[in-house]
Copies of this chain bind each other. A is one copy, B any other.
Amino acid sequence: MTSNTNTLEREKGILIVLSGPSGVGKGTVCTSLRKSSPELIYSVSATTRTPRQGEVDGVNYFFKSHEQFKSMIENDDMLEWAEYVGNFYGTPRQFVEETLRSGKDVILEIEVQGALKVKQKFPEGVFIFLLPPSLNELENRIVSRGTETDESIRSRMSVAVEEMRLMEHYDYAIVNDHVETAGNKIKSILEAEHCKRERVFPKLMHWIGEVK
């Protein structure tokens, strides 16, 4: 009975996957959230690229050789991965699962296609789509990043609109009109998800069992 009680007290954490089109401000929201909720663990990606100065293995990235990375893919140890300019980037399953098992929540910030791959392997995650306040505002944000040509802006807007259609596969959508407000909404979603009946019900059945 004791071990059962311990299991119930140490409830599993939740994986929050934060995504949205390029330019919507995922990184800014995530950074703000990590400051205000230090108990939330940020998922560390794996990469085959060389560490830059000051980057720490297991903190900024898990640095892997190409061979190690490929064997992780083969062993289904990556929740998602992609190749970019000759290097591999991915989300190691082990780090996420061990952190969740220790009772801590994990946040993974990732682009739209990557999030959908994670959903296939980890459907119990909570998938949040970040939206711009309007399409005009998204265009402003892309333009203000600087050196884009008119054509590349049009192309990025068109990709963003296509990505927004994929919102139908997500659980929640948050408008990023203000970074802190968006962060608070993510916290509310996390708190609400912890109150879902499916999570609390086993604990209750345990109590009722004790009474008999």
Interface residues on A, range: 35 or more
Known contacts A168-B201, A172-B195, A185-B191; 7 further A-B pairs (Cβ under 8 A): A128-B195, A135-B210, A161-B208, A173-B195, A173-B200, A188-B191, A189-B195
Q: How near does chain B come to A8, taking the closest CB pair, in angstroms?
A: 12
Q: How near does chain B come to A45, taking the closest CB pair, in angstroms?
A: 25
- Report whether over half of chain A's contact residues are helix, strand or loop; otherwise say mixed: helix
Copies in the complex: 2
B residues within 8 A CB of A170? 197
* Interface of chain A residues 21 through 74 with chain B (CB within 8 A): none
- With the chains together, A18 CA to B171 CA distance in Å? 23
Kindly state whether residue A174 has any CB partner on chain B within 8 Å: yes
Kindly state whether residue A164 has any CB partner on chain B within 8 Å: yes
